[in-house]
A and B are shown apart, each in its own frame.
Chain A
Amino acid sequence: MLALLVVAVPVIAETTVNMIGLGILAAALLAIGRTERLPATGLGIALVALELEGAWERHPLTVQIAAAVAGLALLAAFELSSWAQQLEQTGADRAAYRAQLRVLGERLAIVAALLAVLLAAPRAIGHHPALGIAGGLAVIALGAGLLWLVARPGGRT
């Protein structure tokens, strides 16, 4: 539902035949791919990015905010989807539901806050490549972290 909203908002903002076609295709790919089929989901997300570009091409700040919100909403959609899948396999009591919801909410709030910083910092600093450097560092940190997780004793993917 959340993913559909992400797909629909740019179409509503800029309703053209191309945008509607893109929206339908993106929604279908996201629905098929979910969190299991990486190629389909990846393609769907690329189409969403194209939608965002198409809808707010002439408004840089709007497209950036929309992209950040869309990314956050898609993350939340994926998390809720995988949580629902897990609940199909294992039951949970009311306390566990509440605790998981609270933890998920907290983590999404942290991600949103960091996104806000990422959105505002380059403007305050006035140096756009800073985002690229930060991104590169984050990717290196991510790669190192994954390698550490896989290489440590007992670790496997």
Chain B
Amino acid sequence: MTVSLHPKLNLYAVLGAVGLPLGPLLGRPELALFGAPFLLALLLDMTAARPRGLRAQIDPLPEQLVEGDELTVTLELTSDVAVRADIVLVLPAELELREGNNPRTVALKAGQPERLAYPVRCVRWGLAEVGPVAVRAFSPFGLVRTEQELAVRELTRILPDEPTLRELVRPHETQLFAGNQRARAKSSDGIEFADLRDYQPGDRPRSINWRASARRGELQTNQRHLERNADVTILVDSFGNGARGSGSTFDDAVRAASALVRHSVAQRDRVGLINLGGTVRWIELRSGIRQLYQIVGTLLEAEAARRTYGEQLGLVPRRVLSPGALVIALTPLLDGRSVDILLDLRARGYDLLVVEVVAEPKLAAGADAEAEDAEALRLWRVVREGLRARFLRHGIPLVRWQPGIELEAALGEVRAFRRRGQSVRA
């Protein structure tokens, strides 16, 4: 707890200290009476009780929220003495106060809990930590202030508001097993029924379909879809981060990645994640809802990983990617390192698809800078086109996902690209 004195205390002290002794000495009691109120105010404030037992508590927050959700954060404060205080509840950047004030002044009654409501809106995905609470309590005249920080915190996860995605790009290679719309030819053990075939030596007795066998007069065996269908690896490039609409390319890349992962998991694909940040972080290929939550959790922490800078960036390890996996890279293509990694992946034979999360260059304002800005923008666009052409030359489908365009539509371009047979097998 820190005690501080208001600057007006100096004024009051001087008026009181000069007036009270000077009046009687000069035979002018009015001088003493003139300064007395200030001195009395000072004495009253210094002897006033100060809060020493302030307690704060934040009501538990929902475990998960989605961008755009609205909720009310409730803070409960209890003081051992009646006091006026300024309260600051530290809100993370992911939460925006909808109405009311923060900081706000409240009057706390001795021993009575005061509940303060903060209506907020989730404006960005991420791990949002609410708290701590800073309290500045005032003496009645406000001359003495006690400041303290109450270490209360509540954590919640704000999931990205995902773009709608009905269909994903089909991988060149699915697993050896039959699936749904991606089915190739074969099927194998799983749960969902796929087909019937003649019994072959070695088939498990439990897989024999007795009813079908009775009808056909020979043993028939059930075939089932396997749990997994294809391998999809989402690669999020957080090296470069450009402006895009009201947010950044990285914000949108995470939203898109979340949608792709959710879609792939629903398709019973095995999904993995590679996060190109200061260091390469990854989650190995797995399927199921647990994998979805693990990847989304990692994406939420990707913001912190983006700020760490590794000295030397290694290439993506082979064990993170299975042969034939479809790699969907979400990148603004603003950093040469990520470009090298993507080309390396293609050279290693992976089925790579690049979604360029297009950044909007911000140009300097001013009459003098306009001509130079226009030239710079033109040059920048030429360089970007060259970079895109480089990807296409390597047989890598590249689609531009610009603000205002649905991700679904952007991916549709890739499907068309593949239908035209423009893909190149490395």
Contact = CB atoms under 8 A, between A and B. Distances in A.
Given A136-B20, A149-B3, A92 B106 contact: yes
Interface in B38-86: 38-44, 46, 84, 86
B29 interface: yes
A135 B20 contact: yes
A70 B30 CA distance: 10
Given A64-B30, A128-B24, A138 B107 contact: no
A145 B21 contact: no
B374 interface: no
Contact of A118 (B3, B25, B36, B101): B36
Interface string A8-45: 00000000000000000000000000011010011001
A119 B36 CA distance: 10
A91 B36 contact: no
B179 to A, nearest CB: 58
Interface in B256-272: none
User: Which interface class (under 10, 10 to 19, 20 to 34, 35 or more) fits A?
Assistant: 35 or more
A114 B14 CA distance: 19
B30 A129 contact: no
A71 B103 contact: no
Interface in B95-115: 100-101, 103-107
A40 B158 CA distance: 54
A132 B40 contact: no
Contacts of B104: 90-93, 96
Interface residues of B, number: 54
Contacts of A47: none
A94 to B, nearest CB: 10
Nearest to B85: A96
A131 B37 contact: no
A36 B10 CA distance: 9
A134 B35 CA distance: 13
Interface string B315-342: 0000000000000000000000000000
Contact of B8 (A82, A131, A132, A155): A82
B23 interface: yes
A49 B34 contact: yes
Nearest to A129: B24
B19 to A, nearest CB: 8
B8 A71 contact: no
Interface in A99-157: 99-100, 103-104, 106-107, 110-111, 114-115, 118-119, 122, 128-129, 131-136, 138-139, 141-143, 145-146, 149-150, 152, 154-157
Given A107-B44, A110-B44, A145-B43, 18 more contacts: A36-B7, A42-B11, A53-B30, A60-B30, A64-B33, A71-B38, A74-B37, A75-B12, A82-B142, A90-B103, A91-B101, A93-B104, A104-B141, A106-B140, A135-B24, A138-B16, A146-B5, A157-B5
**Ordered nearest first, which 6 A-B pairs have the shortest CB separation?**
A132-B24, A135-B20, A91-B101, A99-B107, A67-B30, A92-B105
27 contacts: A36-B7, A42-B14, A42-B15, A68-B34, A71-B19, A71-B37, A75-B12, A79-B141, A86-B86, A90-B104, A91-B104, A91-B105, A92-B104, A92-B105, A95-B106, A96-B106, A96-B107, A115-B37, A118-B33, A136-B21, A138-B43, A143-B17, A146-B13, A150-B5, A154-B2, A155-B2, A157-B5
